[in-house]
Amino acid sequence: MQIEPKIDPSWKEVLAKEFAKPYMMELKRFLLEEKKRYRIFPPSQKIFNAYDTTPFEKVKVVILGQDPYHGLNQAHGLAFSVLDGTPFPPSLQNIFKELVSDIGCEYPKTSDLTPWAKQGVFLINAVLTVREAQAASHKDKGWERFTDATIEAISQKKEGVVFILWGRPAQAKEKLIDTSKHLVIKSPHPSPLSAYRGFFGSKPFSKANDYLLKIGKEPIHWCL
């Protein structure tokens, strides 16, 4: 009962051993049982959306979130992103405020971060699924092991990637990253609880682009 997700072939190759491990079989069984009793977000076809939209070879920036949004028409498999037509969540509003301040973009009219993902911004949550209206309900079920393996693979097999770690849970993943060949940008989380403690003014977008330009890579067009 190996998991066979809709996922870009480059990731299937990089993570083939991970998909075959027993914990992933257990995770699949857990999700099948959950779906019988609850509404799960994001929809099944979007669980691996970050992997499918940003192929492994294109990854230039990693932005790490924690848990998918747990409201209707929000989560679609990209960290911090929500489908258009849904009110912007508070964390995303603060990300956009910093974007305007840092880069000089106009405040985005879209809440869908797919244009970032298509340029090589890998928007990954530590946990890839959640029950409706129950934050962190799929924590410690196996997803963290899978996404840790993802971060390690990027660190080991690539060079010159920018890892943007907002908040303590994301920053705890720094131990998985070889900081001698990648840039790590850290700040408080953009949530209203912590944004004023150092997220605002942290300039992650310009710092990422400065680094990419310095190592001869195309910068990200952050304005949406």
Active site residues: 67
Query: Closest Cα partner for 169 from 223, 124, 130?
Result: 124
Write down the residue that tokens 């990422």 correspond to.
208
For CA atoms 7, 13, 18, 22, the dihedral sign is: positive
Q: Cα 206 to chain center, whole Å? A: 19
C-beta separation of 170 from 62 below 8 A = no
Side by side, which strands form the sheet with 183-187?
A: 121-125, 61-65, 162-166, 183-187
Residue 128, number of CB atoms within 10 A of its CB: 28
